[in-house]
Amino acid sequence: MGDVNFLQKAIAIVQQATEADNAKNYAEAHKLYIQSLEWFTTALKYEKSERSKATIKAKTLEYLQRAEQLKEYLEKTKNKKPIAVGGSKSNTANGANGASNKKVEDDEDMDPEDKKRNDSLSSAIVTTKPNVKWDDVAGLYQAKEYLKEAVIFPIKFPQMFTGNRKPWKGILLYGPPGTGKSYLAKAVATEISSTFFSIAPSDIVTKWLGDSERLVKQLFEMAREKKNSVIFVDEVDSLCSSRNDQESESARRIKTEFLIQMNGVGNDSDGILVLAATNIPWGLDMAIRRRFEKRIYIGLPEPQARAKMFQIHIGNTPNTLTPGDYKKLAEATEGYSGSDIQSLCKDAIMQPVRAVQNATHFKYIRAPCRDDPDVMREYVTPCSPGDKDAQEMTWMDIDPEKLKEPEITFSDCLKSIRVIKPSVSSKDLDKYVEYTRDFGQDGV
């Protein structure tokens, strides 16, 4: 339902954009096209049908191209104004290219456009640790091993990575939606001491129309300066898809720049790991695919990992679940992804709230005090009308202080399993298995 709203919003904005465009109000049209692209990108993320995805992508490219044309036109007309600011720096393209050996952080005499890009990149640096530890990621042992190999060991034991032993420079995490690719990246950001850049392609493509490739270049320059950095690109397919006829000039330039930077030709790319994630690895440009030396399949979780996910997501919310119950829940959720189990747990956690909301009878009980478990006090809790202590009342009759909500039970979880179904079909999985056989390796 949410996806339909994103798409509707995108269409509504693009209609305004075309109206402004037709009325020759180009600045407004440009602004609206960019806004619509952001909504289209979000709609694309949540769209499940491959056909609709292709239509949205084609439309997005069309609007992107129009927005680029408008931007070019607006810049040309703006430059006609006789403003003598910046002298020889007025040509931003030359400014950026000539600055390759300069410190990117050297703001003093930085080209204003470079500075703007730099500021934007600074916001991509993850400064607040996401607080996802390796142990919070259930299963995916192999993937975690590779990531530790790539980011922890080279920093901690640089002496091990001399001669021909080089740390991995490009790791691609691919697999169905909701299997923990971004979550793993968060664990990397939490567990490393070095700089972590998190890049959303929509930012690169929509905010920097026309000079996106310079933004990519500057990103790598900045990462090189920081040393031992990780650049995480989520949904890398939308930045580096395989060539097609509808590809815009700017999309091609971004991709080329990415290739150059990942190659590290003429650059010292040691110390940078490019970590990327995608749901559609087969949509990636072949040359880009090759730059990711490790391509790790992040598949659906095994039963053991599913049991751990139930434990993680139910956490310390009061419950009566035993280790045996967690095992049974794992067995009952074959084919569920990590995010399916997360949604399922969210639903199960709400069951006691529903029980309170729907109860027609409550009873008085004595139970350990919330603030001091050594002290017993009186509470009111929902019960069946047949209970010998049942009293007819609703939640509205209860003193909030006295409410004792029921604990989550195994049967609450089973109820949620009946409602929440797996989001990945076995047909989808076949494609990943085939891709892994041809190009990847298992990370589970």
Ligand X SMILES: Nc1ncnc2c1ncn2[C@@H]1O[C@H](COP(=O)(O)OP(=O)(O)OP(=O)(O)O)[C@@H](O)[C@H]1O
Short-list 136, 121, 272, 130, CA closest to 194: 272
Nearer to ligand X, 167 or 180 (CB): 180
Q: If DSSP codes are grouped into helix, strand and coil, which group holds residue 103?
A: coil
Among 218, 269, 342, 436, binds ligand X (CB under 6 A): 342
Among 117, 169, 181, 306, binds ligand X (CB under 6 A): 181
Please, which residue, 38 or 114, has the CB nearer to ligand X? 38
Could you say which of 43, 110, 126, 140 contacts ligand X (CB under 6 A)? Answer: 140
Q: Which of 154, 178, 201, 406 binds ligand X (CB under 6 A)?
A: 178
Among 170, 338, 352, 406, binds ligand X (CB under 6 A): 338
Both structure tokens of 290: 């090759």
Sheet of 361-368, strand order: 376-382, 361-368, 391-392
Place of tokens 């930045």: 239
Query: Which positions ≥6 away from 96 have C-beta within 8 Å?
Result: 111, 113, 114, 211, 214, 217, 218
User: Judged by CB under 6 A, which of 33, 39, 183, 220 binds ligand X?
Assistant: 183
Query: How many residues belong to the site for ligand X (CB under 6 A)?
Result: 19
By beta-carbon proximity to ligand X, the closer residue of 26 and 282 is 282
Q: Report the alpha-carbon distance of residue 277 to residue 237 in Å, rounded.
A: 8
Q: Which stretch binds ligand X (CB under 6 A): 68-76, 177-185, 348-356, 422-430?
A: 177-185
Nearer Cβ to ligand X, position 67 or 171? 171
Q: How far is residue 209's CA from residue 48's CA, in Å, rounded to a whole number?
A: 27
Q: Which one of residues 95, 154, 180, 352 is an interface residue with ligand X (CB under 6 A)? A: 180
Burial (CB < 10 A; 0-12, 13-18, 19+), residue 26, is middle
Crossing angle of helices 323-331 and 410-419, in 10° steps, is 20
x/- track of binding to ligand X for residues 265-304 (CB under 6 A)? ------------x-x---------------------x---
140 vs 414: CA distance, rounded Å: 25
Residue 411: HSE in the Cβ half-sphere, 13 Å Cα cutoff? 2
Residue 144 is a binding residue for ligand X (CB under 6 A): no
170: CB partners within 8 A, 6+ apart: 262, 273, 274, 276, 291, 292, 293, 294
Q: Answer whether 239's CB lies under 8 Å from 257's CB.
A: no
Decide whether 179 or 269 has the Cβ nearer to ligand X.
179
Q: Which of 339, 351, 381, 416 touches ligand X (CB under 6 A)? A: 339
Among 36, 41, 182, 206, binds ligand X (CB under 6 A): 182
Distance in Å, CB of 82 to ligand X, minimum: 49
**26 vs 141 by CB, closer to ligand X:** 141
Choosing from 312, 390, 433, 444, the residue that interacts with ligand X (CB under 6 A) is 312
Residue 179 binding ligand X, by CB under 6 A: yes
Q: What angle do CA 220, 294, 54 make, to 5 degrees?
A: 75
Name the residue nearer to ligand X (CB basis): 33 or 292: 292
Query: Does residue 137 interact with ligand X by CB under 6 A?
Result: yes
Shorter beta-carbon distance to ligand X: residue 178 or 271: 178
Residues contributing to the site for ligand X (CB under 6 A): 137-140, 177-183, 277, 279, 301, 309, 312, 338-339, 342
